[in-house]
A and B are shown apart, each in its own frame.
Chain A
Amino acid sequence: MLKRLLLLLLPLVLLQCDANTYPDGAAAYKAYCAGCHVEGGTGLGTLIPPVAGSDYMAANLKKLPCIIRYGLKDTIVVNGVVYSEEMVGIPQLNDVDITNLLNYIQHEWGAQDHHYTLGDVRQLLSECGE
């Protein structure tokens, strides 16, 4: 009896072990971000800033949805390094995509694992939109 129970529980345990909690966000990262910010989120030299362990992102959680949609032209400092190249926005990503993407990045590499709801993202986007 105990054996059967264990057998039944096994798939559940295996599902729990699936580390990829945000498959949609992971797919969006791969398709739209990894080309420049690199698969591991480390960026490139002092040309492209990292998104993994970025103090700039941790300090600007509320700006991130707008940066993803509309891009960034300002010179910024990330982990003590100055970055001045423009990032283009990604208008192809809708509100849901951006929410998934942000949660994936936060979960994967964020300092505080901040969680965004779709409502948060819509509110933040409305503050920077046209």
Chain B
Amino acid sequence: MKDLLYSSILLAMVMATAGCSDTPERSLPILGNREVVNGDTVYPTVQAFSFVDQDSQTVNNASFDGEAYVVDFFFIHCPTICPKVKVQCKRIYDRFLDNPHVLLLSHSIDVRNDTVAALHRYAEKLEIKTAKWHLVTGSEDEIYGMGDDYFSVARKDTTLPGGFDHSGRLILVDKNRHVRSFCDGTDPKEVDRFMDDIDLLLKEQYSPKK
């Protein structure tokens, strides 16, 4: 019995030491220009928005209240990068399907063609649940106006195939409306790293503190 006690103590000590020697864990920065107001550091937050999703429901900041979400810009009749980005978004969707703290928000930048009905059909083809992944449309100015907050390009350009210019970037927003990570959504390896970042954020914001 004494032996067991000693070995347990020894084991506990080894484990404690192992804990000490761990390198400090990587943490995600808050992206964007911070300001100092009255001695307090203020981080940029995503502005207030209100759009309509594939089920004709209003989607605004409150829709993501307390949860993290992944943002991108796309349009349905996009022949070039959008299908690749959607393949990667679907990977993220599948991986975090059972985690209520991760949602997805895709903005259509083709407000003329991508009506609610068109988005609804598109969502059916993607085989996704609206509550998890909102495909939204809204006023053109408001949608294009979100680009800066999400460090993304979203604008019309008739010289390009499809008629729009947009980055295939994915952006991770935390529950406090801070942008925490982004990646090139056309590159599966980048998206692997991005999903690790999502895990890290979940650990930071949703794991019980020790």
**Residues in chain A within 8 A of chain B (CB atoms):** 35-36, 38, 44-48, 71, 85-88
Contact = CB atoms under 8 A, between A and B. Distances in A.
A36 B122 contact: no
A52 to B, nearest CB: 15
A46 B128 CA distance: 11
B75 to A, nearest CB: 12
Nearest to B89: A44
Nearest to B77: A86
B83 interface: yes
Interface string B106-150: 000000000000000010111100000000000000000000000
B132 to A, nearest CB: 14
B87 A44 contact: yes
B124 A35 contact: no
A63 to B, nearest CB: 19
A96 B124 CA distance: 38
A47 to B, nearest CB: 4
Nearest to B128: A45
Given A35-B186, A88-B161, A48 B87 contact: yes
B127 A46 contact: yes
Contacts of B126: 44-45, 47
B86 A44 contact: yes
A65 B203 CA distance: 49
B84 interface: yes
Contacts of B23: none
21 contacts: A35-B87, A35-B186, A36-B84, A36-B87, A44-B86, A44-B87, A44-B90, A45-B90, A45-B126, A45-B127, A46-B124, A46-B127, A47-B83, A48-B83, A71-B79, A85-B77, A85-B83, A86-B79, A87-B79, A88-B79, A88-B161
B80 interface: yes
B80 A88 contact: yes
A80 to B, nearest CB: 15
A59 to B, nearest CB: 22
Nearest to A71: B79
Contacts of B87: 35-36, 38, 44, 48
Residue from the set B86, B125, B127, B161 with the largest chain A CB neighbour count within 10 Å: B125
Nearest to A87: B79
Given A44-B90, A86-B77, A86-B79, A35 B84 contact: yes
Interface string B49-82: 0000000000000000000000000001101100
Nearest to B81: A35
B201 to A, nearest CB: 26
B125 A36 contact: no
Given A35-B84, A47-B126, A88-B161, 13 more contacts: A35-B87, A36-B84, A44-B90, A44-B126, A45-B90, A45-B126, A46-B124, A47-B86, A47-B122, A48-B87, A85-B77, A86-B77, A88-B80
